[in-house]
Structure 1
Amino acid sequence: MKLLDPTTLPEWLPPHSLQWYEQLGRLEGKYQYSWKSTYTNPNGESIFDEEVASVIRNKKVLDVGCGHGEFTMQCAKYAK
């Protein structure tokens, strides 16, 4: 089964473009996101964090592309 490429559709809008947000606002009556999402543990992020901690324990680690370093600092307590 071949999947449809949505970028070939005439109504395609690149995600997170101004046009995309304008369309979202029209469809929903307004655009609003509270940024107060909460997920209880265990969740995908906590499971990933535990897995990474077990893999890097007492090993030298280089975090490439660490962004602002929050995850790197969290992992620092497990790695050498």
Structure 2
Amino acid sequence: MLVLTRKIGEKIVIGSNITVTILDGGRGEGVRIGIEAPRDVSIHRSEVVEAVSANNREAAQTTGECADADSEQLILAALGLATPATE
């Protein structure tokens, strides 16, 4: 993990087409960031990905299905974080 210190208005460039800008900070524990990325790049908060994944695993178990690696890949694909495996 790369750890950086940035001031408000400073940017971080990821690859050639993603820019993260520090918008606001200093109020409590949080900072506000802006992310510029191509439309085909999915951006999700980790807690949302984890909640959707947990809910889908629970639903799969409730219906008697196995919540294995294949279903996990489908969840990530639905969020745009992975491509579904083709058989």
Both proteins in one fold, TM over 0.5: no
Higher relative contact order (CA 8 A, sep 6+): 1
What TM-score do you get using the length of structure 2 for normalisation?
0.25
Q: Which has the higher strand share?
A: 2
> Over alpha carbons, which structure has the higher Rg?
1
